[in-house]
Amino acid sequence: MTEQHRNADAYPQRIVCLTEEPTEVLYALGEEHRIVGISGFTVRPPRARKEKPKVSAFTSAKIDEILALQPDFVVGFSDIQADIARELIKAGVEVWISNHRGVDGILAYIRRLGAMVGAADKADAYARQAEQHIAQVQAAAAQFRQRPRVYFEEWDDPLITGIRWVAELVRIAGGDDVFPQMAAESLAKHRILADPGEVVRQAPDIIFGSWCGKRFRPEKVAARTGWESIPAVRDGAIHEIKSPLILQPGPAALFDGLDALHAVIAQWVERRGG
């Protein structure tokens, strides 16, 4: 056995990804051959849905089907997947549950996952590409003479505000999140707005919506009692960001998600003379 072959065998060969972001990262690194199962919510990259069996949702998983794939490594995200992780660990499977919540955490996640599969150099290059993209958007946003106040809605019933990496990306894109203190809360239950009138009082210039798992309805947002006085509602500045682009703590948010936020904010600024 060659040294190269021994080194290759030292890394996981059969990986199950319980969420989309490890799948997207591994495909981007050219390591997709290691993946034997993915989340049913995976849409990036599109070919993954055709090539890999879907064995999990977000809060549930087909444990027997996962075990039948004989994984030597399972990757998941957050405390919400603790029960899935426990069942797999009890069955003798090695499991890594990441719990990053900010932009820096996403970048570190890319590097860490790459290192775990023996692709540290490729992962570092990919993370540096993301860092360069972030810096470019940030530099463009620094030229804005005005910064809009932004309300990001992650769910509508109850109202849930955006998580930390979303608030950070809004800031990078050129806006200011109107609920920064809530964005620091990692759990959705701690980001619930008990009083929808609080959004009215914050008077955001732009409203972004990304309702995880269902289509965002701007007309429903605009029709909420008392919201007609909000600048974003009055000016028709209510925009959807597709959840796969922004609510996955992976590459999509740093590239397409950030670009989508920046495009809307730049348009708002342009309409007000820069």
**SS3 call for 17:** strand
Q: What CATH number is attached to the domain comprising 90? A: 3.40.50.1980
Which of 68, 99, 130 delimits the end of a domain?
Answer: 99
CA distance 155 to 161: 7
For residue 106, tell me if it sits in a domain.
Answer: no
Which of 99, 116, 131 delimits the end of a domain?
Answer: 99
Residues 150 and 258 occupy one common structural domain: yes
Q: What is the pTM of this model?
A: 0.93
Buried b (16+ CB within 10 A) or exposed e, 9-27: eebbeebbbbbbbbbbbbb
For residue 32, tell me if it sits in a domain.
Answer: yes
**SS3 call for 88:** helix
For residue 227, tell me if it sits in a domain.
Answer: yes
Residues 59 and 153 occupy one common structural domain: no
Listed in sequence order, the DSSP H helices in the chain are 3-9, 20-28, 46-51, 63-68, 82-90, 103-116, 120-141, 164-173, 180-183, 197-202, 218-222, 231-234, 243-246, 251-252, 258-271
Per-residue pLDDT of the chain (274 residues; tens, 9 = 90+): 343 444 556 899 999 999 999 999 999 999 999 999 999 999 999 999 999 999 999 899 999 999 999 999 999 999 999 999 999 999 999 999 999 999 999 999 999 999 999 999 999 999 999 999 999 999 999 999 999 999 999 999 999 999 999 999 999 999 999 999 998 888 888 899 999 999 999 999 999 999 987 899 999 999 999 999 999 999 999 999 999 999 999 999 999 999 999 999 999 999 987 7
Number of separate domains in the chain: 2
Q: Which domain holds residue 70?
A: 3-99
Residues 259 and 178 occupy one common structural domain: yes
